[in-house]
Amino acid sequence: MGRFFINCDEASILSTREQYGDLNPKEAFRHKLHQGHCIRCRSFHKNNERFQRKLRGLKWVTLSDSQKDSIKKRIAASMKK
């Protein structure tokens, strides 16, 4: 994709991908360029960043692999019955 200019739909997806650190330098540049002239996408990006900060602030707890394995074993045993 050699073009510099992207539309708002593409920009909003790039904004989301940026929250997960998934943009390569070219995509990051295109996104910045688009934001430079699109107020709506700039505003969306700010909200998206704010939302991401909130998500990061939340303390998620997850099951460890061993906990998952233990539950899977119980399910498997129960399914055999």
Partner 1 sequence: MPEVKLIPEKWVDRYGDYLFNFTISRVNDPIMAQDLVSETFLAGLKSAHRFKGNSTERTWLISILKRKIIDYYRKINSNKGKAEVRMSYLSNSDQEGDWMEEKAQDLRNPNVEDTIEQEELGKALEECIACLPERYATIFVQKTIDNLETETICKEHDITASNLWVIIHRARVQLMECMNKKWHKDN
Contact call for residue 79 and partner 1 (CB under 8 A):
yes
Reduced 3-state DSSP string for the chain = CCCCCCCHHHHHHHHHHHHCCCCCHHHHHHHHHHHHHCHHHHHHHHHHHHHHHHHHHCCCCCCCHHHHHHHHHHHHHHHHC
40 near partner 1, rule: CB under 8 A: no
28 makes contact with partner 1 (CB under 8 A): no
Q: Which stretch binds partner 1 (CB under 8 A): 26-34, 35-43, 64-72?
A: 64-72
Residue 57 near partner 1 by CB under 8 A = yes
Considering the complex, what minimum distance in angstroms separates the CB of residue 32 from partner 1? 18
